[in-house]
Amino acid sequence: MDKEYFKIVIVTAIDKLNSSKKPLSESEFTRSLVALLKKKHGKNDTRHSSKIRFRKETFKFIIETQEWKDEIVLINNEKYALKSQLKDLPQVQTDSDWCWSEIHIEEAQQKTLNLLKKLDPFKFEELVKKLIEGYFIGFKAETTRKTGDMGIDVKAYKDSEIQKDKKQAMFAQAKCFKGTVTRDNADKFIGAVKEFHNKENWETFYGLFVTTGTLPDSFKQKLTNSEEKGLVFICWDGQELVKKLFQLGWGIKYSIHIDFWENLDSNLIHKEFDNEQITLPNKLT
């Protein structure tokens, strides 16, 4: 590795921590470093022209150098700070001491929901697929083809533990909505689910409607009224969807979990956070 370049990065890192006057997570830190390096040393330098490449090819090596460790420390495996700042920081808590207050939960939930509403629709379908497998034990899910799926975005199956020739099935529709979902969406969804349900003799067949928007009571009642023997409808609005993510520990840690969203939809996270600092508190009590 280029020692001169490492020196430049370390000096830039120290400047950033001095100006921020607070510890920074790796995601916050690397984004800021890349922005400063581009500004001071050129945008076309491949060593910092990409945030992802910088984290993978430079940052993970430079933090192991003695020069870095002489100046910068990692607190609780969460935040980077200057050693000279430690005496001025509040007493550092361990992970087991951290907890969510109601106001912080609400803030985190709202931030998460805002991100969900901005997801690429196909990426949202992938998230619903993962949620089904993570939340419903034993189900294996797959997204459907983009056309001719009658509005069904994800199919999932679970073998019967007693009779292997019988299966439980779940057909889901994933809708990125910012407002209230209308009742005609319920009619279309019910029609699509029932058409698939009537094709085979399922042990249990679930219709799952997932949206980032709001579901009125009339929508939920319409699904309930359409249930029949062996057919069950489930619906998650934006708030319920966020709760499911929190229950699984996805997309949120002590602040917005950047890596989760970056892996899900890198275009979204770069657009959302390139010029914005994470606003959640550094320490939640």
Q: Kind of pairing, strands 231-236 and 204-211? A: parallel
Phi, psi of 44 (to 5 degrees): -90, -5
Sequence-distant (6+) residues with CB within 8 A of 218 are: 183
Q: Which residues pair with 256 in a beta bridge?
A: 252
Which stretches of the chain score pLDDT less than 50? 91-100, 275-285
Q: What is the pLDDT of residue 98?
A: 42
Q: What is the pLDDT of residue 204?
A: 86
CATH number of 98-285: 2.60.410.10, 3.80.30.20, 3.30.450.40, 3.40.1350.10?
Answer: 3.40.1350.10
Determine the Cα–Cα distance for residues 186 and 83; give it in Å rounded to an integer: 57
C-alpha radius of gyration, the chain, whole number: 24
Q: What angle do CA 8, 9, 10 make, to 5 degrees?
A: 95
Phi, psi of 16 (to 5 degrees): -65, -45
107-145 pLDDT, tens digit each? 788 888 999 999 999 999 999 999 999 888 888 999 998
Q: Which of 266, 231, 220 is nearest to 126 (CA)?
A: 266
177-219 pLDDT, tens digit each? 888 998 889 999 999 999 888 877 778 899 999 999 999 999 9
Q: What is the pLDDT of residue 160?
A: 60
Sequence-distant (6+) residues with CB within 8 A of 147 are: none
* Domain extents in the chain: 1-94, 98-285
Sequence-distant (6+) residues with CB within 8 A of 233 are: 190, 193, 206, 207, 208, 209, 223, 224, 226, 227
213, 237 contact by CB (below 8 A): yes
Residues 280-284: contacts with CB within 8 Å, 24+ apart? 280/104, 280/107, 280/108, 280/111, 280/254, 280/255, 280/256, 281/104, 281/255, 282/22, 282/23, 282/79, 282/255, 283/90, 283/93, 283/98, 283/254, 284/98, 284/99, 284/100, 284/101, 284/104, 284/254
Q: Which residues pair with 172 in a beta bridge?
A: 154, 208
Determine the Cα–Cα distance for residues 16 and 173; give it in Å rounded to an integer: 45
CATH number of 1-94: 3.30.300, 1.10.286, 1.20.120, 1.10.10?
Answer: 1.10.10
Q: What is the pLDDT of residue 122?
A: 92
- State which amino acid sits at residue 41: H
Q: What is the pLDDT of residue 57?
A: 82
Determine the Cα–Cα distance for residues 238 and 5; give it in Å rounded to an integer: 46
Q: Mean pLDDT over all residues of the chain?
A: 80
Q: What is the pLDDT of residue 60?
A: 83
